[in-house]
Amino acid sequence: MHFGTTKWLWDSPLPASDYIGDFHRKIPVAAEKCGVTLLGANGGITDGGEAAYFLPQQSPEAAQACLKRNLPQGHFGLIEQDEWESRTKTDPSFPVALDSIPKPVKMPLP
């Protein structure tokens, strides 16, 4: 499952349409509320958004609906297992580890 296919125009004075202020706290909180594991990102999940990747612990549709409620500015989609495995095997740096994002994602305490 991914979040954040951004609609952004280069050199625009406005933030991306999926911009989340304080993303490094809000995305992990939404993930915890919605019963999904935050796997990593593609890009910095900052102004340009790129994408964050989640593994649902419940039905993907229920998890996606919950994330949409908690992160309404986002765009969401489901990635099939074989596509995910293909992407991770083809590119060892995919997805970007959460701890390597310039503004580190702060996971809630267990």
Percent of all residues in the chain with a pLDDT value above 90, rounded to a whole number: 7
pLDDT at 22: 75
Q: For the segment 62-102, what is each residue's pLDDT rounded down to a tens digit?
A: 988 998 899 887 777 888 888 888 988 998 888 887 777 66
Angle between helices 60-70 and 23-33 (to 10 degrees): 140
Instruction: Look up the pTM and report it.
Output: 0.72
To 5 degrees, how large is the angle CA 63–CA 65–CA 69? 115
pLDDT at 44: 56
CA distance 23 to 106: 9
